[in-house]
């Protein structure tokens, strides 16, 4: 098993010492789930009484609420997974163990091309695995594909709402403060339009656990420039709300 670099020591034995089912018992939870990175949107739903708390998942950070949302007569699980691949993948694992099976995530991302305006929708069809978590789930590879069924559900809803979108590759990184100039250039040549911190890890977990996963991103800060341009990307409440409801609808299509 030993390789030159530990991250490449993939173990194909699917049994782990701590299986999520040891800690989490399945409950009556909607199998369709929206993974929402927008805490502002979730907090607004909570304050307005539009979500019901199903259960708190506990980590050393504190309680992480898992909600139920009713939309058009159907129930959906909704939760924030935390930021960064290891935490988000762990939360994803635990919500799968609770009983959810069909996932759509919504989040923001840096963009690698100034032509992608703030708020423009990007639907990843594949992700570059520039993070560590996915290497513990599936054998090493440069990229991972996003579930076609999930992508099609998203496209159907975006088309229905006449919302313009770009299908693209995303760059999933572990190190937000090490998005270097040459790496941005390289990822551009590989076809990436977005950079975020979870997509390829989510895809690997979904693959491993045999659940459906796809993601809607909106264009945020610009990283393809001499001086970083934040473009006020995380204060776009209206855009974030809109993307969230599109994710809910896409999830209901699954
Ligand atoms: O807007 P959200 O989706 O929070 O996420 C993006 O921003 C975070 C980094 O600041 C990472 O989670 C990245 O994926
Ligand atoms: O991972 C991320 C997320 C947003 N913006 C970035 O530049 N990187």
| ipTM at complex level | 0.87
Average pLDDT, the chain: 97
**Looking at the predicted structure, is the pLDDT value of residue 26 above 90?**
yes
Residue 43 lies inside a defined structural domain of this protein = yes
Cβ contact 160:152 at 8 Å: no
What is the domain range of residue 249?
Answer: 27-253
How sure is the predictor about 108, in pLDDT bands with cuts at 50, 70 and 90? Answer: very high
- Answer yes or no: is the C-beta of 219 below 6 A from any ligand 1 atom: no
d(CA 251, CA 186) in angstroms, rounded, equals: 33
The pLDDT of residue 206: 98
Residue 4 lies inside a defined structural domain of this protein = no
* Nearest CA, atom 5, ligand 2: 110
d(CA 146, CA 130) in angstroms, rounded, equals: 15
CATH number of residue 97's parent domain: 3.40.50.1580
From 34, 42, 43, 83, give the residue whose CB has the most ligand 1 atoms within 8 Å, as the site to mutate: 83
Q: Residue 71, exposed/middle/buried by CB under 10 A (0-12, 13-18, 19+)?
A: middle
Residue 118 lies inside a defined structural domain of this protein = yes
Total number of domains constituting the chain: 1
**Looking at the predicted structure, is the pLDDT value of residue 186 above 90?**
yes
The pLDDT of residue 113: 97
Residue 15 lies inside a defined structural domain of this protein = no
**Looking at the predicted structure, is the pLDDT value of residue 234 above 90?**
no
pLDDT tens-place string over residues 134-158: 999 999 999 999 999 999 999 999 9
Six token digits for residue 172: 């999933």
Atom of ligand 1 nearest to the CA of 199: 14
CA-derived radius of gyration, the chain: 18
Residue 13 lies inside a defined structural domain of this protein = no
Residue 173 lies inside a defined structural domain of this protein = yes
Residue 8 lies inside a defined structural domain of this protein = no
pLDDT tens-place string over residues 197-231: 999 999 999 999 999 999 999 999 999 999 999 99
**Looking at the predicted structure, is the pLDDT value of residue 38 above 90?**
yes
Atom of ligand 1 nearest to the CA of 217: 3
Residue 229 is classified by DSSP as: B
CA 97 to chain centre: 17
Among 129, 132, 131, 133, CA closest to 141: 129
Six token digits for residue 146: 């996003």
Residue 7 lies inside a defined structural domain of this protein = no
d(CA 113, CA 123) in angstroms, rounded, equals: 15
**Main-chain dihedrals φ then ψ at residue 189, nearest 5 degrees:** -65, -25
């Amino acid at each position: 098993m030993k390789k030159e670099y530990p991250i490449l020591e993939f173990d194909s034995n699917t049994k782990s010492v701590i299986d999520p089912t040891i800690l989490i018992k399945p409950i009556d939870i909607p199998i369709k789930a929206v993974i929402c990175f927008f805490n502002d949107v979730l907090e607004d739903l909570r304050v307005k009484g539009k979500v019901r708390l199903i259960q708190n998942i506990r980590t050393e950070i504190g309680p992480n609420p898992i909600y139920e949302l009713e939309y058009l007569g159907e129930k959906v699980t909704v939760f924030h997974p935390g930021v960064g691949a290891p935490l988000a993948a762990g939360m994803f694992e635990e919500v799968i163990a609770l009983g959810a099976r069909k996932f759509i995530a919504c989040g923001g991302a840096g963009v690698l091309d100034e032509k992608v305006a703030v708020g423009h929708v990007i639907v990843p069809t594949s992700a570059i695995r520039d993070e560590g978590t996915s290497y513990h789930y599936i054998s090493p590879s440069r990229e991972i594909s996003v579930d076609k069924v999930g992508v099609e559900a998203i496209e159907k809803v975006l088309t229905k709402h006449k919302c313009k979108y770009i299908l693209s590759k995303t760059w999933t990184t572990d190190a937000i403060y090490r998005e270097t100039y040459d790496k941005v250039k390289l990822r551009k040549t590989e076809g990436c339009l977005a950079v975020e911190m979870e997509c390829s890890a989510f895809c690997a977990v979904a693959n491993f656990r045999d659940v459906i996963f796809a993601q809607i991103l909106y264009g945020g800060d610009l990283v393809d420039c001499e001086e970083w341009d934040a473009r006020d990307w995380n204060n776009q409440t209206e855009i974030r709300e809109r993307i969230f409801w599109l994710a809910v609808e896409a999830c209901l299509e699954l």
